[in-house]
């Protein structure tokens, strides 16, 4: 029997609608306080309606949880796994309430984001704080909630993506493989938000630097020396600069440069949720369908046993003091090994531009 102080693990994610009538209230939760116009919500809603109003995300997270539970059991780690979301059911407040009623007092938190930055890091700490406030409002016993560290350069994360990229190159037509470009894509964010993602000493851009480092590590594993890092899924007003180039624009540029194919690796996403199945599998493919250009989109690592093994390793780091396994050199964010929050101001929300 372990003398670990931890008695549960909470898988904390973004959330997604599971039926048509969920879509609009879900999007309102996501954009609350951001001044997003209703017509933009209507536009994004169509992405979900295209799939019957259901995001794949909750089911994908349940798959991750089932794999994690199996590995924990096989390794004799007695930690029940709970599931909570920021924006849709099961809401993290409800989950933490149930945990408290179940007698959980010291839990680890695995957030389904590998990255630094406000939305990839700090917002998950805000979710944890909100859940603890919910317990206070309910007059329930508090739970110590410690977030596990970021994992953008964990060997199992990198290796799983590298295997998927190799498989994608193999699936390209034989006459296209030698003239194919490797392209990594991640969720775009405002340039101002990326600049703020760094330690308080001013060394920012940690989000885009971590994405670039993951891409470099995967490419090295695959044996590819030339590749591109691009962005997708921007949702802000056009006058606010976001990270570029966009994946669709870039694919069109590659076709114009006489490339005949691309392997697209969604390095910024752990699972095939809506930004993958819509922005890449639907929108990108539709835009390139009338061109003589082959695209293979690589698989994401979330459903794999390796990904669940990675989470188990992160648990052992915190619970047992196991060595950190890392391939890169960029600073880790999301949690220090001692359980503290990010470095001061490492990923504070960027100030929104004020109207003139």
Most distant pair of Cα atoms in the chain: their distance = 66
SS3 for 122-151 is HHHHHHHHHHHHHHHHCCCCCCEEEECCCC
DSSP tally for the chain: helices H, then strands E: 12, 8
Q: What is the pLDDT of residue 339?
A: 43
Per-residue pLDDT of the chain (356 residues; tens, 9 = 90+): 356 799 999 999 999 999 999 999 999 999 988 778 888 899 999 999 999 999 999 999 999 999 999 999 999 999 999 999 999 999 999 999 999 999 999 999 999 999 999 899 999 999 999 999 999 999 999 999 999 999 999 999 999 999 999 999 999 999 999 999 999 999 999 999 998 877 655 568 999 999 999 999 999 999 999 999 999 999 877 889 999 999 999 999 999 998 999 999 999 999 999 999 999 999 999 999 999 999 999 999 999 999 999 999 999 999 999 999 999 999 886 554 334 445 445 565 555 444 33
DSSP 10: E
* In contact, 48 and 87? CB cutoff 8 Å: no
d(CA 80, CA 320): 17
The pLDDT score that the predictor gives to residue 356 is 38
pLDDT of residue 306: 98
Q: What is the pTM of this model?
A: 0.93
CB-CB contact of 53 with 19 (8 Å)? yes
Predicted pLDDT at 199: 61
Packed helices 38-49 and 23-31: angle between N→C axes, nearest 10 degrees: 130
For residue 183, the cross-strand partners are 228, 264
């Amino acid at each position: 029997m372990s003398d670990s102080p931890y008695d549960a693990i909470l898988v904390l994610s973004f959330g997604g609608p599971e039926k048509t009538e969920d879509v609009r209230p879900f999007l309102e939760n996501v954009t609350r306080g951001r001044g997003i116009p209703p017509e933009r919500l209507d536009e994004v809603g169509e992405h979900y309606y295209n799939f019957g109003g259901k995001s794949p995300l909750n089911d994908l997270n349940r798959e991750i949880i089932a794999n994690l539970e199996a590995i924990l059991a096989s390794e004799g780690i007695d930690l029940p796994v709970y599931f909570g979301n920021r924006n849709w059911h099961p809401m993290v407040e409800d989950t933490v309430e149930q945990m408290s009623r179940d007698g959980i007092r010291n839990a680890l938190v695995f957030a389904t984001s590998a990255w630094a930055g406000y939305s990839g890091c700090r917002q998950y700490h805000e979710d944890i704080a909100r859940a603890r406030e919910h317990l206070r409002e309910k007059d329930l016993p508090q739970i110590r909630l410690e977030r596990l560290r970021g994992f953008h350069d964990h060997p199992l994360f990198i290796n799983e993506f590298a295997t998927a990229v190799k498989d994608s190159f193999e699936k390209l037509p034989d006459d296209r493989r030698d003239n194919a470009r490797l392209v990594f894509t991640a969720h775009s964010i405002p340039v101002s938000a990326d600049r703020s993602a760094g330690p308080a000493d001013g060394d920012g851009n940690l989000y885009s630097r971590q994405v670039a480092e993951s891409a470099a590590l995967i490419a090295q594993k695959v044996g590819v020396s030339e590749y591109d890092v691009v962005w997708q899924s921007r949702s802000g007003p056009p006058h606010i600069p976001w990270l570029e180039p966009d994946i669709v624009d870039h694919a069109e540029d590659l076709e114009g440069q006489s490339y005949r194919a691309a392997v697209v690796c969604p390095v910024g996403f752990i699972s095939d949720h809506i930004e993958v199945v819509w922005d890449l599998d639907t929108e990108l493919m539709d835009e390139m369908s009338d061109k003589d250009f082959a695209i293979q989109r690589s698989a994401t690592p979330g459903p794999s046993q390796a990904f669940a093994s990675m989470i188990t390793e992160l648990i052992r780091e915190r619970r047992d003091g196991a060595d950190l396994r890392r391939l890169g050199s960029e600073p880790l964010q999301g949690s220090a090994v001692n359980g503290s929050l990010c470095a001061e101001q490492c990923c504070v929300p960027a100030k929104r531009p004020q109207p003139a």
